[in-house]
């Protein structure tokens, strides 16, 4: 049956390519190889459209399909990374065993000739002015949020309910379907709706003025210098595979730092990818990424390029972690402060104006992690996957 599907697909692509001119301009083979001796599951492959050398306009690009070796059509996503109304990449996900390779095909198949699968999961982000001005993002496993200028103004004007923080808040999801829109809508009817677990999960995680899980800062004179709330945002892409957005912050600290974060979250991942671009009026000696230590409790571990925290929340457990490329890593340490929201485990990166890190978590209530040892193994593998990405080779059919 698989050979029949594969043959039919090839004939469809060949016929359509022949009608439009050249078969080699309409279809490409993508070989993906796992260089590690560990299994890799649900990893996103990014294919630069320019590398495919297709002769297609923007509307035709929407009819690209990705198929696996058996001829099954995979869920894929086109992404315009620079917001110029032109697609830059096509994304799809793969799973490979240790040292395994698989072949895929990206082809132009006009609408109506081949059915695309309906996505089962989605990565999504949105700005929520109805809850003051949060920006929140989620996938099938996790959800995060951070805070905008209105809630900052409330604090500065001594209005109750305000908050000043560029830290990341965690929403504990128990379901794979999207919850953000519904929880924010329900919160308008019932104040604090999402702070109660009604079966889908809830938000018991306190951020305050802390770094939450993944906020950044400068370490100086035994204290943290940090930005305030984001001042503007830009949604770049929404699922099914990846959501991408940018947050911009007002210049902060005596160094006059201009900060822009580009954040991406893929389906099936517990980690947000954060690309930070910084420029400053004065030289900056370091940047740190933090995880908040609630009441100074929980288990802490620091290793080369990653830090983690394992804490009890309402008789369940949450594991939080941050990791970077080992080449970027400087040191890690714990800051134990007598002041509220100031105690953290911190990871310092080498002096740089641009760096990438990953911040994420798992909740024991979802049964995806049983104990801290499992969480450590997950964090270490995610860091290895980042440092040794899947290898991708593109060939023209017939080459």
| Confidence band, pLDDT 50/70/90 cuts, at residue 53 | very high
Check whether 13 has a pLDDT greater than 60. no
Order of strands across the sheet that contains 76-79: 40-48, 89-96, 76-79
Q: Using CA atoms, how far apart are residues 271 and 278, in angstroms rounded to an integer?
A: 22
pLDDT at residue 25, as a whole number: 53
pLDDT at residue 383, as a whole number: 97
Q: Using CA atoms, how far apart are residues 247 and 215, in angstroms rounded to an integer?
A: 12
Across the chain, mean pLDDT equals 92
Range with the poorest average pLDDT among 9-23, 147-161, 245-259: 9-23
By the 10 Å C-beta count (0-12 exposed, 13-18 middle, 19+ buried), 125 is classed as buried
Range with the poorest average pLDDT among 4-13, 31-40, 118-127, 313-322: 4-13
| Confidence band, pLDDT 50/70/90 cuts, at residue 333 | very high
More confident residue, 249 or 369: 249
pLDDT at residue 154, as a whole number: 93
Read off the pLDDT of each residue in 99-109 and give the average, rounded to a whole number.
97
pLDDT at residue 115, as a whole number: 85
pLDDT by residue (tens digit) across 166-184? Answer: 999 999 999 999 999 999 9
pLDDT at residue 368, as a whole number: 82
Q: Using CA atoms, how far apart are residues 396 and 381, in angstroms rounded to an integer?
A: 33
Q: Using CA atoms, how far apart are residues 393 and 375, in angstroms rounded to an integer?
A: 32
| Confidence band, pLDDT 50/70/90 cuts, at residue 398 | low
**Is the Cβ–Cβ distance between 386 and 327 less than 8 Å?**
no
**Is the Cβ–Cβ distance between 90 and 49 less than 8 Å?**
yes
pLDDT by residue (tens digit) across 280-316? Answer: 999 999 999 999 999 889 999 999 999 999 999 999 9
pLDDT at residue 18, as a whole number: 45
Check whether 4 has a pLDDT greater than 90. no
pLDDT at residue 132, as a whole number: 82
In whole angstroms, how far apart are CA 47 and each of 167, 264, 289, 332, 392? 32, 16, 30, 35, 8
pLDDT at residue 92, as a whole number: 98
Per-residue H/E/C for the chain: CHHHHHHHHHHHHHHHHHHHCCHHHCEEEEEEECCCCCCEEEEEEEEEHHHHCCCCCHHHHCCEEEECCCCCEECEEEECCCCCCCCCEEEEEEEECCCCEEEEEEEECCCCCCCCCCCCCCCEEEEEHHHCCEEEEECCCCEEEEECHHHHHHHHCCCCCCCCCCCEEEEEECCCCCCHHHHHHHHHHCCCHHHCCCCCEECCCCCCCCCEEEEEEEEECCEEECCCCEEEEEEEECCCCEEEEEEEEEEECCCCEEEEEEEEEECCCCEEEEEEEEECCCCCCCEEEEEECHHHCCEEEEECCEEEEEEEECCEEEEEEEECCHHHEEEEEEECCCCCCCCEEEEEECCCCEEEEEEEEEEHHHCCCCCHHHHHHHHHHHHHHHHCCCEEEEEECCC
Q: What six digits make up the tokens of 155?
A: 């604090």
pLDDT by residue (tens digit) across 133-146? Answer: 999 999 999 999 99
| Confidence band, pLDDT 50/70/90 cuts, at residue 8 | very low
Check whether 7 has a pLDDT greater than 50. no
Structural domains in the chain, sorted by start? 2-118+388-396 (2.60.40.1180), 124-368 (2.70.98)
Check whether 21 has a pLDDT greater than 90. no
pLDDT at residue 111, as a whole number: 79
Check whether 131 has a pLDDT greater than 90. no
More confident residue, 8 or 332: 332
In the chain, pLDDT over 90 holds for what percent of residues?
A: 87
Q: Using CA atoms, how far apart are residues 18 and 194, in angstroms rounded to an integer?
A: 55
């Amino acid at each position: 049956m698989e050979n029949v599907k594969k043959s039919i697909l090839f004939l469809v692509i060949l016929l359509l390519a022949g009608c439009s001119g050249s078969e080699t301009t309409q279809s490409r083979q993508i070989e993906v190889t796992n260089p590690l001796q560990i299994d890799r599951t649900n990893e996103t492959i990014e294919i630069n459209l320019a590398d495919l050398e297709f002769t297609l306009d923007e509307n035709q690009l929407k009819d690209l399909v990705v198929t696996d070796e058996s001829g099954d059509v995979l869920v894929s996503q086109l992404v315009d990374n620079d917001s110029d109304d032109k697609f830059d990449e096509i994304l799809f996900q793969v799973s490979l065993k240790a040292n395994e390779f698989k072949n895929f095909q990206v082809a132009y198949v006009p609408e109506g000739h081949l059915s695309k699968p309906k996505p089962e999961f989605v990565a999504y982000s949105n700005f929520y002015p109805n809850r003051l001005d949060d920006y929140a993002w989620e996938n099938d496993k996790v959800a995060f949020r951070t805070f905008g200028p209105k809630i900052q103004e409330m604090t500065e004007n001594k209005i109750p309910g305000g908050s000043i923080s560029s830290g990341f808040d965690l929403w504990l999801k128990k379901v794979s379907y999207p919850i953000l829109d519904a929880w924010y809508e329900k919160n308008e009817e019932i104040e604090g709706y999402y702070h109660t677990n009604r079966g889908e999960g809830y938000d018991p995680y306190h951020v305050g003025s802390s770094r939450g899980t993944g906020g950044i800062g400068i370490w100086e004179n035994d204290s943290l210098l940090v930005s305030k709330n984001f001042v503007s945002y830009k949604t770049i892409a929404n699922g099914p595979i990846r959501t991408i957005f940018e947050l911009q912050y007002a210049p902060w600290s005596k160094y006059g730092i201009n900060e822009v974060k580009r954040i991406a979250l893929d389906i099936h991942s517990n980690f947000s990818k954060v690309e930070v671009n910084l420029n400053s009026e004065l030289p900056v000696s370091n940047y740190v990424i933090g995880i908040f230590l609630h009441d100074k409790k929980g288990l802490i571990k620091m290793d080369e390029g990653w830090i983690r925290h394992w804490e009890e929340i309402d008789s369940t457990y949450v594991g939080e972690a941050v990791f970077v490329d080992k080449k970027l890593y400087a040191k890690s340490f714990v800051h134990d402060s007598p002041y509220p929201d100031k105690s953290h485990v911190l990871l310092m990166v080498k002096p740089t104006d641009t760096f990438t890190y990953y911040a994420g978590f798992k909740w024991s209530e979802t049964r995806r992690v049983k104990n801290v040892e499992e969480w450590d193994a997950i964090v270490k593998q995610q860091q290895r996957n980042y440092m040794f990405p899947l290898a991708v080779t593109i060939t023209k059919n017939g080459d």
